[in-house]
């Protein structure tokens, strides 16, 4: 399965014709894509009832990726956050079987500390057995590959790349997660057709290998994400 979508489900007038069905933005979005990344959970909590309502708004095969709160990743820096993890999971697990993946994005200043990192991810794994994708942004996380494999955590393939190995999928090979922020202008630039064609070939290879594969466009600031996702969808067909 390839899960293709955007970071958020806001629909602009530029793409209105592609989402002409009635309903909320999320309902209309879910008629074309099979996943979305919830980034708002990074900034603020959502009530369990909100997650349940979102789950009820989408088809059975639709999946949400939910971003870990910055209170855990950026403020507590993965330390002493067991209670915060419990609260977050109690909220987003109301998505039920439509909860597809947890996304953890780390601050650029957070380097890899072997003992510290393993303690956090083992704590997470005691609470949550489903798919997890990690987007580290410090080069020292190159040393974390074996731990990620051991704990079944995929390392995000990020664009633009922050360090040597993060341009390609890493960590646990049982899941692939592409996160595309836009290049050269991050969050704004639209990817070229040539780039999307190469990406489509990579996604198809993962699908052929039987690996669940995620592709999220996060170049949302100028509306490029939706255009790129729709174009890639056509290439995958």
pLDDT, tens digit, for every residue of 5-61? Answer: 999 999 888 888 888 888 999 999 999 999 999 999 999 999 999 999 999 999 999
Mean pLDDT, the chain, as a whole number? Answer: 96
E-state strands within 124-231: 132-135, 154-155, 157-159, 170-171, 176-180, 213-217
pLDDT value for 43: 97
Sign of CA dihedral 144, 149, 152, 157: positive
Q: What is the pTM of this model?
A: 0.96
State the Cα–Cα distance between residues 46 and 94, nearest whole angstrom.
11
Q: In what order do the strands lie in the sheet with 176-180?
A: 2-6, 213-217, 176-180, 157-159
Q: Residue 189: CA atoms inside 13 Å, Cβ hemisphere, count?
A: 13
Q: What is the pLDDT of residues 103-160, one digit of tens each?
A: 999 999 999 999 999 999 999 999 999 999 999 999 999 999 999 999 999 999 999 9
Q: Is 97 left (phi over 0), alpha (psi -120 to 50) or beta?
A: alpha
pLDDT of residue 15: 85
Share of the chain above pLDDT 70, in %: 100
Please determine, for residue 236, whether its predicted confidence score (pLDDT) is greater than 90.
yes
User: Which pLDDT does position 235 carry in this prediction?
Assistant: 97
214 pLDDT higher than 90? yes
The CB density around residue 211, as the number of other CB atoms within 10 Å, is 17
Give mean pLDDT, residues 209-216.
98
What's the pLDDT score for residue 21? 86
- pLDDT for res 13: 82
Detail the DSSP E strand segments found in 7-113: 35-38, 63-67, 99-105
**What's the token pair of residue 70?**
């910055």
pLDDT above 90 covers what percent of the chain? 92
Orientation of helix 114-127 relative to helix 82-92, angle to 10°: 40
Superfamily (CATH) of domain 2-236: Protein of unknown function UPF0759 (3.20.20.410)
- Structure-block tokens of residue 201: 């070939």
Question: SS3 letters for 190-214?
Answer: CCCHHHHHHHHHHHHHHHHCCCCEE
List of E strands, the chain: 2-6, 35-38, 63-67, 99-105, 132-135, 154-155, 157-159, 170-171, 176-180, 213-217
pLDDT at residue 16, as a whole number: 81
Average pLDDT over residues 166-191: 97
The pLDDT of residue 31: 95
What is the mean pLDDT of the segment spanning 149-176?
A: 96
pLDDT at 122: 98
Rounded CA separation 85/81 (Å): 6
- 70 pLDDT above the threshold of 90: yes
């Amino acid at each position: 399965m390839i899960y293709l979508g955007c970071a958020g489900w806001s629909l602009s007038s530029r793409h209105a014709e592609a989402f002409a069905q009635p309903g909320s933005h999320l309902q209309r979005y879910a008629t074309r894509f099979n996943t979305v990344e919830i980034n708002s959970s990074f900034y603020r909590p959502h009530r369990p009832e909100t997650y349940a309502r979102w789950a009820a708004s989408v088809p059975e095969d639709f999946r949400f990726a939910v971003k870990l709160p910055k209170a855990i990743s950026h403020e507590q820096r993965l330390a002493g956050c067991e209670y915060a993890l419990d609260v977050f999971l109690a909220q987003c697990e109301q998505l039920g079987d439509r909860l597809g993946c947890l996304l953890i994005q780390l601050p650029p200043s957070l380097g890899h500390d072997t003992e510290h990192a393993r303690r956090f991810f083992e704590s997470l794994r005691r609470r949550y057995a489903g798919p997890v994708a990690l987007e580290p942004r410090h080069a020292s996380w190159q040393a974390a590959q074996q731990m990620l494999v051991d704990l079944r955590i995929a390392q995000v393939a990020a664009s633009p790349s922050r360090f040597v190995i993060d341009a390609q999928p890493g960590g646990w090979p049982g899941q692939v997660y592409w996160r595309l922020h836009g290049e050269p202008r991050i969050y704004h630039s639209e990817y070229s057709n040539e780039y999307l064609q190469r990406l489509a070939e990579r996604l198809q290879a993962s699908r052929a290998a039987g690996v669940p594969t995620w592709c999220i466009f996060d170049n949302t600031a100028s509306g490029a994400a939706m255009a790129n996702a729709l174009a890639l969808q056509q290439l995958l067909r």
